[in-house]
Amino acid sequence: MTATNPPLTLDAVLDLFQMEELHDGHVLARYVAAHPQFALQLIDFSRLIATPDTEDEGGLTATEQSRIDAAWITHQAARPQGATGADPLVRLSGDVGKALAVKLGVPRQVITCIREHRVLASSVPASVTRELSVALGVPQAHVIAAMARSPAGMAATRSYKSDGPPRPVAQTTFEQVLKDAGVSEADRVRLLADA
């Protein structure tokens, strides 16, 4: 009975090739002949090994550095504060949410609905999104984009005991949220007027 070794993987062949003292054409030819299925990878790897590791130690020119700085400032200005992809509406809890509710003259449950993405972004007047933007310290466009996110998964922040499995939360209009919260008609008209 003869023992056969399993065929070598590409990684194993490249490791063996790398451990050779010389990486000249003869060694490469020997490996290509022994492992023709990896010929292209071996040739590419030999070229990579033969390429000298030169680093540009001259540094950046003043023009290059100023372009990088300008691009970074533009990037930072376009980004909402906090982590990338973070939801700025989560900061509408506590004192921030309370102060915004007082400023808008609405019950806290309206702010909670906004925080939980239960309000259709397209139904919120620009004057309200402007106040949200100021309260959160993010551009108005970021507030609108955050409000447009799906409320799915937002219910995980609260816990309920129920008889059935949770159902998806449907978004509703800002006007309906105001009505459900018991906001007077005069206050609704004031809030819905797009000033």
Query: Residue 83: its pLDDT value, please?
Result: 45
Supply the angle between the helices 39-50 and 25-34 in degrees, to the nearest 10: 160
Query: Residue 85: its pLDDT value, please?
Result: 55
Query: Residue 108: its pLDDT value, please?
Result: 92
Each residue's pLDDT tens digit, 18-56: 898 888 888 888 998 998 888 888 888 888 888 776 665
Q: Do the beta carbons of residue 89 and residue 117 sit within 8 Å?
A: yes
Query: Residue 159: its pLDDT value, please?
Result: 58
Cα dist. 146→17, 36, 189 in Å? 53, 55, 25
Q: Give the Cα separation of 110 and 97 in Å (integer).
A: 10
Query: Residue 154: its pLDDT value, please?
Result: 47
Query: Residue 140: its pLDDT value, please?
Result: 82
Query: Residue 2: its pLDDT value, please?
Result: 58
In the chain, domain spans: 10-50, 88-160+167-192
Q: For the chain (length 195 residues), average pLDDT per consecutive 10?
A: 72 90 87 89 86 68 79 68 66 88 90 89 87 87 82 54 69 88 87 73
Q: Do the beta carbons of residue 172 and residue 155 sit within 8 Å?
A: no
Q: Which long-range contacts (CB under 8 A, 24 or more apart) does 104-113 make?
A: 104/128, 104/131, 104/191, 105/187, 105/190, 105/191, 106/178, 106/181, 106/183, 106/187, 106/191, 107/181, 107/182, 107/183, 109/180, 109/181, 110/177, 110/178, 110/181, 110/183, 113/177, 113/181
Q: Do the beta carbons of residue 84 and residue 76 sit within 8 Å?
A: no
Q: Give the Cα separation of 52 and 1 in Å (integer).
A: 48
